[in-house]
Amino acid sequence: MEHQRFCKLTFSVVTPAVQITQQDDGGEYFRGYAAVWFNRSNPGTTCIRGGMHYRVNRHAFDKVITSKLQIPIWYNHDDNYILDPAGEITPDDFGMAYSLRFDADDPDHAKVRAKIRKGIVQGSSWQGECAYNEYREGPYLVREIVDIDPTGRVEFSIVNSPGFKAANTGTSFSVVAD
């Protein structure tokens, strides 16, 4: 039986790593994935934590996208380190990608770029209020994130140390309130 519930959630993606890319306009950009969609053929898109299997439905961010909400990008979920008040977000077949232009005059950007180059930064993350369906799949209890509330606080972060490292993509969830 499926039940829809609500929680505030933090989700961390360990890999693919945050990248610094050069664009045609000559600028450098931070790029990464704040979320990866559940893919049955990739066990790394399911996080197993405390016996619970967590998954992100590929349509979970649809309301955020259609609302044209400006998603801030922070460093380590710390609102004292706002890297961009309105990063560019783009869903693709793998997950929810984000990018922001590197600003050489911003000391926080320089700090994060140095940490990426040293391999200290290990991934990305999102935080927000969401709805999930809870159901059994064989012996497993599954929580599938189906909707992110665009009226709540939603933010993406470049993070040093996601809380959980799983196979392939690596995901981490921490339920803040349930």
Query: Where are the domains positioned within the chain?
Result: 3-177
Do 62 and 146 form a contact (C-beta atoms < 8 A)? no
Sign of the CA dihedral 43, 48, 52, 58? negative
What type of residue sits at position 101?
A: R
What confidence score (pLDDT) does residue 74 get?
A: 93
CA angle 25, 80, 65 (to 5 degrees): 55
pLDDT tens for the chain, residues 1 to 178: 455 566 655 555 544 568 888 888 888 999 988 888 888 888 777 777 777 888 899 999 999 999 988 899 999 989 999 999 998 999 999 888 899 999 999 999 999 999 998 988 878 888 888 888 999 998 889 989 999 888 888 889 898 876 434 322 344 444 443 4
Residues in Cβ contact with 3 at an 8 Å cutoff, skipping those fewer than 6 apart: 133, 134, 135
